[in-house]
Amino acid sequence: MPPLLSLDGIKVHFSSRKMLFRADTVRAVDGVTLSLDRGETVSIVGESGSGKTTLGRASLRLAPITEGTVVFDGDDITRIPDGKLRWFRRRAQAVFQDPYSSIDPFMDVRQVLEEPLLIHDIQDRADRVQQALEEVRLAPAGEFSGKFPHMLSGGQRQRVGIARALIMQPDYILADEPVSMIDASSRTEILYLMRELQERLGIAFLYITHDIATARYFSDRIAVLYLGRVAEQGPPGEVLDEPMHPYTVALIEAVPEADPDNRLRDRPTVPGEPPNPSNVPTGCRFHPRCPEFMAGLCDVVEPELVEARPGRFVACHLFSPATHTNGAESAQSAEE
């Protein structure tokens, strides 16, 4: 069976004007190929500025796609006019990061949930609202439907956001940092809820997060994004327990972990800051920060994403002998 969502060579480039007569091109997403099966969760992890949110928005046609294709359930939706995407808008929804700003403060919960139903001219609104609130465990529905956002806790607001996504009975949900702005106890409850809904309703999630621990719990696959490209991809246990790309290693090493003496373990961290996406390094874009840097190769040839072992993909010269050979020959030719 073909995947529900396929992103093929997606590029999202923006023009960033620095001076009156000069504009830089920001390569926010720069050639990402990714698929999502029905009922599957793929997590996108990486530093701030790696292109995670932009990639998620591109999957929903909410960001302008410079190059590449988005195929949803067999239909190429890349350049279909927005007015002809109503069917897609019903089947693909989003849960946003900030439950305080993603819900209209002047609407009560019933109005928030009814809004997409009104837009799509769906009639059984009262039943759908009640069902959606029960799905996210805001019951009895009558107790919550008349409340305004300021009357709810952060976790309850995010449940309303999830209910708003569910009310259209979608096949695909983009979950963009859905637990990063709520307290720790509510985070666990929200993640359990989303996992349960996924398993029961067969919804596919693209889960964007900085939190590697939640990615391990919530994912079927993890894709590590660096400067607009996939550095590594595979099952969560393998990627996080046996990372292959030096950037993945650095992300995991940066997670604080207390030792038995209640002191933080002395762990190496990746040096420097991510480069500006308007000035991407030549060759491997991670090479200026990489402890495994090989001069004449990493700064010359950009590694391809290859299947280093079954189900494990990595874009690193350490795991691509063919690229290593070609790169060495290219470097030698350049010197001659």
What tens digit of pLDDT does each residue of 215-239 get? Answer: 988 899 999 999 999 999 999 999 9
- Which CATH number do you get for residue 193? 3.40.50.300
Does residue 30 fall inside a structural domain? yes
User: Pairing mode, if any, of strands 229-234 and 221-226?
Assistant: antiparallel
- 334 belongs to a structural domain: no
Residue 211 counted as domain residue: yes
Task: Give residue 233's region: left, alpha or beta (phi > 0; psi -120 to 50).
Answer: beta
Q: What is the mean pLDDT of residues 23-33?
A: 91
Mean pLDDT along residues 106-131: 93
Asked if residue 267 belongs to a domain, the reply is no
For 169, the 3-state DSSP assignment is: coil
Look at residue 37 and tell me if it is in a domain: yes
The arithmetic mean of pLDDT across residues 2-10, rounded, is 96
Range of the domain at 234: 5-242
260 in a structural domain:
no
In a domain, 60, yes or no: yes
Work out the mean pLDDT of the chain and round it to a whole number. Answer: 88
Which ranges in 3-78 belong to alpha helices (H)? 52-59
Q: Is 282 helix (H, G, I), strand (E, B) or coil?
A: coil
Residue 97 domain flag:
yes
Whether the per-residue pLDDT at 136 is higher than 90: the answer is yes
> What's the total number of domains in the chain?
1
pTM equals 0.88
Sign of CA dihedral 95, 99, 156, 119: negative
pLDDT top residue among 21 and 236? 236
